[in-house]
Structure 1
């Protein structure tokens, strides 16, 4: 799950531009009888789906802006979110490729 600027903007504007002062709640570790957590593959698939939808929303908003149907602020926010998402995807890809290369160099 990704955190976007759109999620933070109401909180930031409410407190005058400063970072939120509350700390996130800490979740206790799962017990043996609880529901298992999502697998790594499920997490990556979810992140990929979120990334694709964010980039598509940025493209749609940019197109609407060119047609005069969206404000400049909306276009800039959507494009910035899409750019941040793309940078995150590239960083994760680079880490996965690096891990694969490290594993392939291991001697058996």
Structure 2
């Protein structure tokens, strides 16, 4: 599902002994680290920050997918599944909002007269 987007099959990632590792790591989804607007910036360029946010969002979505598959197999608690899916949904909404802002900014720059 999510892995199909990145080019790999979802079932190949969950097959074998890693199956329980993926399901257990999905119980605690990782939130992407947001750079502090007030403190000093330790990160590199804008593209690196955007890449790290994208990777964090994809990790949350993959964790939610893995947790959902574990629930289908009867190996996960409903509360953990709901938490993982909600974290994935928040990540997706954040990524969509950032994308919309970037597109709007690009269109405004493209309309500027030079």
* TM-score normalised to structure 2 length: 0.64
TM-score, normalised to structure 1, is 0.68
Larger RCO: Structure 1 or Structure 2 (Cα < 8 Å, ≥ 6 residues apart)? 2
2:71 alignment partner, one of 65, 71, 74: 65
Do the aligned partners of 2:67 and 2:81 also contact (CA within 8 Å) in 1?
yes
Aligned residues: 80
CA RMSD of aligned residues (A): 1.9
Is 1:102 aligned to 2:76, yes or no?
A: no
Q: 1:56 aligns with which of 62, 68, 71?
A: 62
Q: Note closer, same or farther for the CA distance 1:37–1:80 as it changes in structure 2 (3 Å cut).
A: closer
Aligned structure 1 segments of 4 or more residues deviating by more than 2 angstroms: none
Aligned pair in 2 of structure 1 residues 67, 37: CA closer, same or farther (>3 Å)?
closer
Task: Supply the distance in 2 between the matched residues of 1:37 and 1:94 (Cα, whole angstroms).
Answer: 23
